[in-house]
Structure 1
Amino acid sequence: MPVYTVHAPSPAGADLRATDRFVFVRDGFHFWAMIFGPLWLLWNRLWLALLGWLVVVIAFNVALSSLGVGRSSIFYANVIVAILMGLEASSLRRWTLSRGKWRQLDVVIADKEDAAEHRFFERWSQKQQGIAGDQWAVDRGGPPPTRSVPGQQFSNPPPIPAGGIIGLFPEPGGSR
């Protein structure tokens, strides 16, 4: 079953207004990227990857020609490069998205992209609904608040349980 990664346009763009811009990238072999490598890169707007592909293929062919390798061997070497392009096409797309300050939101397993979208948005909307309805929700991506504000619960550390600490060391500062 194919695996899809879900990418949002920016760190702050993962909200309900940006859902039409989410990108689902299928992991695995891309046949059209193998057959039409540079055209596939152009179609998916992977400009830097296209430039890198052109440099690598031209340098590779020039190096093989200068070494005196036959035309059939150069052809088979180019076939291997095309197969590698088909295998790494989704990684190039993910790399380009990460360079453009997109962030990966989730990994979804589904038969088709439509099913992946359905599964992702079903899970994601439940998370968004839970966070939006909770006034005291905390962003778990940042450090915990440590400022000392009178009257705020997060200012005081939690009390140590009366029965001791559960774990390898039952007493704070006890012998090991």
Structure 2
Amino acid sequence: MPVYTVHAPFPGGADLRATDKFVFVRDGFHFWAMVFGPFWLLWNRLWLALIGWVLFTAAFSAGLSSLGVGRSSVVFANLVIALLMGFEASSLRRWTLSRGKWRQLDVVVADNGDTAERRFFERWSQKQHGIVNDQWAIDRGGPPPTRNTQGQSFSNPPPIPAGGIIGLFPEPGGSR
């Protein structure tokens, strides 16, 4: 089963309001990163990794050519570099996230990305239950009512109804 790492976009405590920004990075071999290395890096916005890949590939090919290595060996070496890109693509992505001040929250084992999200949020919401209460406070526009405060209309009790009795007994202090 694939392993996913979960990353949050800010170094402070994770918050229920930022869950749509969480990133799930699948660990393992990425075929498209091997086949289309620089385009995969562009697609995932891994700019420093792309610059490093271009510089390394150019220097490596130039070094092999200056040593007099044949074309077939240079092509084979570039295939090995592409294979390494496929294996290390998820590590490059996690490295880029960590440079952008993201933090890793968890590791999840799941068959696909949707299952990984479901498993993570089930486990994470149970941990957050005692820490973060998702019932936000409501501002009602004023302090709670108090009794016997001069100048505040809400401090007086409501008037007694016409019969004078509230409840089950017909007269105050009467027998039951």
Q: Which interval holds the TM-score relative to the shorter structure? A: 0.7 to 0.9
Corresponding residue for residue 147 of structure 1: none
Alignment of 1:60-99 (within 5 A): 60-99=60-99
1:132: how far off?
2.5
3-state SS in 2 of match to 1:131: coil
Aligned residues: 133
1:129: how far off?
1.0
Q: 2 CA distance for matches of 1:57 and 1:65?
A: 12
Corresponding residue for residue 3 of structure 1: 3
Q: 2 CA distance for matches of 1:72 and 1:114?
A: 43
Alignment of 1:129-144 (within 5 A): 129-132=129-132
State the Cα deviation string for residues 123-164 of structure 1 (Å, max 9, x = none): 00111112235xxxxxxxxxxxxxxxxxxxxxxxxxxxxxxx
Aligned structure 1 segments of 4 or more residues deviating by more than 3 angstroms: none
1:13: how far off?
5.7
Q: 2 CA distance for matches of 1:80 and 1:26?
A: 22
Q: TM-score, normalised by structure 1?
A: 0.74
Corresponding residue for residue 117 of structure 1: 117
Over the matched positions of the two proteins, sequence identity in percent amounts to 77
Q: 1 CA distance for matches of 2:4 and 2:129?
A: 23
Letter in 1 for 2:115: A
State the Cα deviation string for residues 50-73 of structure 1 (Å, max 9, x = none): 000000000000000000011000
Q: 2 CA distance for matches of 1:45 and 1:2?
A: 23
Corresponding residue for residue 41 of structure 1: 41
Alignment of 1:150-169 (within 5 A): none
Letter in 2 for 1:69: V
Corresponding residue for residue 107 of structure 1: 107
3-state SS in 1 of match to 2:69: coil
Q: 2 CA distance for matches of 1:6 and 1:100?
A: 14
Letter in 2 for 1:38: P
Q: TM-score, normalised by structure 2?
A: 0.74
Letter in 2 for 1:52: G
Q: What's the RMSD between the two structures over aligned residues?
A: 0.8
Letter in 2 for 1:53: W
Q: 2 CA distance for matches of 1:13 and 1:127?
A: 13
5+ residue gaps, structure 2, are: 134-176
Corresponding residue for residue 143 of structure 1: none
1:12: how far off?
2.1
Q: 1 CA distance for matches of 2:110 and 2:10?
A: 24
Letter in 2 for 1:19: T
3-state SS in 1 of match to 2:94: helix
1:42: how far off?
0.2
